[in-house]
């Protein structure tokens, strides 16, 4: 009985001393109070304070775990560089130059022979003289198993790319003078130095305007942009080229153009207008 009393008094003295050293404001007041009324008053105040503390802490924790984002929008007005514009001739190589090569001439003759044979086989009235030499070449290029002219054309283009490996093509690709007829940017003459030539193994010679960000986008609208008049020589078209025209691709300066994959075809005898819009996203994380 005496031991329990002793333990009780130790607990009471610990509780009493807690009211002395705690940094909370309400609890020491409870310890110092001599009247039940005051003890009750400070107890209620302390409990309300504790409740508010728990409530606020819970809110904070819940807010942290909801992983909120903050969206900040700002409008900026500054001058943008005009985009880079890459233009290629749809006829990649000049007929008068690459047909000098024996293998290329043989491939093109076989391609034309296969095309004619294909067209004739669809018409029962058509008579076609087969040539055993040509049939052997058809076998060699794997043209025989094809029945569609589009498939034949793509396969011939692929074989052509292989046959051209190792040839010096600097004479076979378009020169800027037999390509560009007129050019203006922002109502001024173009500077020829703002056109950078580059070679693509499938599209041949191409030209990129504004590769080094020399020109800024001043105003919108076709008058203030880039206007070009292009020409192509139909007599130089090789059999596997689709159509007379150009490939146009508008891109960022930092992007390597793949004109055989992206871009628009513009046919000869037509005027095409391309407009682009610049959108930029900044992602901030806190
Ligand atoms: C078959 O084609 C080859 C190559 O074009 C040609 O030299 C040859 O004379 C042709 N043969 C016949 C029988 O037409
Ligand atoms: C390709 O031919 C051009 C002119 O015919 C010549 O200037 C150039 O040096 C040749 N290039 C190579 C790699 O032989
Ligand atoms: C077009 O190509 C042919 C064949 O190479 C050539 O004779 C002719 O002069 C070229 N035409 C122009 C306008 O360059």
Distance CA 220, CA 232 (A): 29
Residue 199 CB–ligand 2 contact under 6 Å: no
Residues 84 and 114 in one domain: no
Residues 109 and 88 in one domain: no
Segments forming the whole domain that contains residue 226: 80-92+174-267
Average pLDDT over residues 181-209: 89
Return the sign of the alpha-carbon dihedral for residues 196, 248, 236, 111. positive
More confident call, 42 vs 127: 42
Residues 6+ apart with CB under 8 A from 160: 104, 107, 238, 240
Average pLDDT over residues 107-129: 87
Distance CA 193, CA 176 (A): 11
Residues 214 and 240 in one domain: yes
Residues 88 and 194 in one domain: yes
Single residue among 115, 138, 163 that ends a domain in this structure: 163
User: Has residue 245 been placed in a domain?
Assistant: yes
Count how many Cα atoms sit within 13 Å of the Cα of residue 49 in the half-sphere of its side chain. Answer: 10
Residues 178 and 87 in one domain: yes
Ligand 3 atom with least separation from CA of 178: 14
DSSP assignment of 147-179 equals --HHHHHHHHHHHHHHHTTTS--TTTSPPGGGT
Mutate to test the pocket of ligand 1, among 103, 132, 134, 137 (most ligand atoms within 8 A of CB): 134
User: Has residue 72 been placed in a domain?
Assistant: no
Give the model's confidence band at 88: pLDDT under 50 very low, under 70 low, under 90 confident, else very high.
Answer: very high
Residues 50 and 120 in one domain: no
Domain count along the chain:
3
Give residue-wise pLDDT tens across range 196-233: 998 888 888 899 999 999 888 878 888 888 999 998 88
User: Has residue 254 been placed in a domain?
Assistant: yes
Single residue among 163, 192, 210 that ends a domain in this structure: 163
Strands laid side by side in the 245-251 sheet: 195-200, 204-209, 84-89, 245-251, 264-267
Residues 84 and 208 in one domain: yes
Strand 195-200 vs strand 204-209: parallel, antiparallel, or unpaired?
Answer: antiparallel
Residues 155 and 185 in one domain: no
Residues 85 and 112 in one domain: no
Q: Which residues pair with 250 in a beta bridge?
A: 85
User: Has residue 275 been placed in a domain?
Assistant: no
Q: What is the pTM of this model?
A: 0.68
User: Has residue 73 been placed in a domain?
Assistant: no
Residue 181 CB–ligand 1 contact under 6 Å: no
Q: Which of 78, 129, 140 is nearest to 106 (CA)?
A: 140
Residue 136 CB–ligand 1 contact under 6 Å: no
**Which helix (H) or strand (E) covers residue 209, if one does?**
strand 204-209
Residues 198 and 155 in one domain: no
User: Has residue 111 been placed in a domain?
Assistant: yes
Check: CB of residue 202 under 8 Å from CB of residue 218.
no
């Amino acid at each position: 009985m005496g031991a329990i009393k002793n333990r009780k008094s130790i607990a009471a003295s610990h509780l009493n001393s807690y009211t002395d050293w705690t940094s909370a404001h309400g609890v020491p007041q409870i310890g110092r109070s001599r009247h039940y009324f005051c003890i009750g008053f400070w107890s209620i105040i302390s409990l309300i304070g504790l409740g508010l503390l728990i409530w606020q802490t819970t809110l904070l924790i819940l807010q942290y775990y909801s992983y909120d984002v903050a969206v900040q929008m700002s409008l900026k007005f500054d001058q943008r560089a005009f985009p880079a514009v890459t233009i290629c001739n749809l006829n990649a190589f000049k007929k008068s130059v690459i047909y000098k090569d024996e293998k290329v001439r043989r491939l093109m003759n076989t391609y034309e022979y296969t095309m004619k044979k294909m067209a004739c086989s669809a018409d029962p009235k058509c008579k076609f003289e087969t040539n055993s030499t040509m049939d052997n070449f058809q076998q060699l290029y794997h043209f025989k198993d094809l029945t569609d002219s589009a498939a034949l054309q793509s396969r011939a283009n692929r074989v052509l790319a292989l046959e051209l490996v190792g040839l010096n093509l600097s004479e076979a690709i378009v020169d800027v003078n037999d390509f560009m007829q007129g050019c203006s940017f922002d109502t001024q003459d173009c500077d020829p130095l703002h056109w950078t030539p580059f070679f693509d193994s499938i599209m041949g010679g191409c030209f990129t305007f504004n590769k080094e960000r020399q020109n800024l986008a001043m105003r919108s609208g076709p008058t203030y942009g880039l206007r070009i008049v292009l020409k192509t020589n139909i007599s130089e078209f090789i059999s596997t080229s689709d159509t007379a025209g150009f490939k146009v691709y508008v891109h960022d300066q930092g992007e390597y153009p793949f004109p055989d994959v992206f871009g628009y075809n513009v046919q000869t005898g037509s005027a095409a207008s391309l407009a682009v819009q610049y959108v930029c996203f900044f992602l901030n994380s806190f």
